[in-house]
Amino acid sequence: MKRSILYISSLLLFAVIFTPEPASAQEFDWRAHIEERTDEIFDQVIEWRRYFHQYPELSNREFETAAYIEEFLTGLGLEVETGIAHTGVVALLEGGQPGPVVGLRADMDALPVQSRVDLPFSPMVTGEYLGEEVPVSHACGHDTHMAMLMGVAQILTEVQEELPGTIKFIFQPAEEGAPPGEEGGAELMVAEGVMENPDLDVVFGQHISSQTPVGQINYRQGGIMAASDRFEITVHGEQTHGSTPWTGIDPITVSAQIINGLNTIVARQTELTKEAAVISVGIIRSGVRNNIIPEKAEMVGTIRTLDTEMQDKIHEDIRRTATKIAESMGATAEVEIFRGYPVTYNDPDLTEEMLPTLQDVAGSDRVVHINPITGAEDFSFFQMEVPGLYYFVGGMDPDMNPADAPPHHTPDFYINEEGMRIGVKSLARLAIDYMLEHQ
């Protein structure tokens, strides 16, 4: 009897020691899977992009775009939620193994810009913007962003059981800004709970670049894109006849001096060795006749900053400069500043941690640390909630001079679709590598 018990015990011990365990997420060859599947489905990624390019929709009006994305994600078997921030679409992919929750974001909206690029899938649609019918095109590459994220969703859903965590695919409307009088974009998505249920641990996003060679990735620790604020200055003078300016107070002359003063804020009062800053007046309105000095003048402009302390200081400098110059000339000035998108701030620790992933995908010599960009991006609202990393992938023909490549938001904007290959691979790898490191 004792021998039987010992024999059975030995067999059980042998079984425990030598029974093979199921393959873990660590053992699954994620790199090979993402590389191979990206190349295999890349024609489909191009097809998705061309659909979005041919049928662009303006901010908060991405109805057909959202329906197309919803149908695709539902077809993958994902849990899909729609109508977030008006037209946003969010899908949840819960992996077969425990791990962190990673957010991946793509923006959806197009611009009121006429496309002059002659392609078989060039847009021929119009939309309403500021009460006028306008041509619409994806002149900033958001069509590629959606297609790349759809590619990532397909590739990772195929191996759901191996996935060490959860991915939230975020398709965001109105990155270019909601229409006047409306809310929208990333800020509204955050307010409506996109970072919750389940709570995100980290968020990744990318932007195609028409002036960066295909195959290159540009990144930066800290502030990579600027905060964007709007200012309005109203100068009140005293109306009089244009032939006798001394009998009134000329608000146009006062405005000219204020503009000169605003330019000295950046040139002489801002520590530019710390970060860049920009103040630009884009609109000035005053007067109705050539021989009447008007009663008031209005200026509207933008402020771009990459540091929150500098941002606050420049706001105060603008108020002081405008009001004091007006006062010195016998006029008064009202200054209003409206905060827009915050600084797009790449968490330094997260950026350092994920840099080897980007280098492995593109090659170390093709991952470039860049100077900050004074354009703005509302991905920053996600980064205010959790650590985030935002980077650029090249979409320019490699043999082209970047100085000759049409910039974003212009009629001649053009993307080489081959650039999306690196975009799909890098976004998928960032999600997986972060999960594996934080299981």
Residues carrying an active site annotation: 341, 417
How far is C-alpha 26 from the geometric centre of its chain's CA atoms?
A: 31
User: Coil, strand or helix: which one is 48?
Assistant: helix
| One-letter amino acid of 82 | T
Tokens of 33: 């899977």
Q: How far apart are CA 12 and CA 32, in angstroms?
A: 37
User: Coil, strand or helix: which one is 393?
Assistant: strand
> 183 Cβ partners below 8 Å, 6+ apart?
85
Residue in 379, 418, 386 with CA at minimum distance from that of residue 205: 379
Q: Identify whether the C-beta of residue 427 lies closer than 8 Å to the C-beta of residue 148.
A: yes
Residue in 249, 426, 429 with CA at minimum distance from that of residue 325: 249
Q: How far apart are CA 280 and CA 228, in angstroms?
A: 11
User: Coil, strand or helix: which one is 158?
Assistant: coil
* Widest Cα–Cα separation across the chain: 123
User: What is the CB neighbour count within 10 angstroms for residue 356?
Assistant: 12
Q: Identify whether the C-beta of residue 347 lies closer than 8 Å to the C-beta of residue 387.
A: yes
Q: How far apart are CA 78 and CA 72, in angstroms?
A: 9
Tokens of 368: 């470039």
Q: Identify whether the C-beta of residue 137 lies closer than 8 Å to the C-beta of residue 56.
A: yes
Q: What are phi and psi of 231, to 5 degrees?
A: -125, 150
Residue in 146, 103, 168 with CA at minimum distance from that of residue 390: 103
What's the angle, vertex CA 42, arms to CA 408 and CA 25, rounded to 5?
110
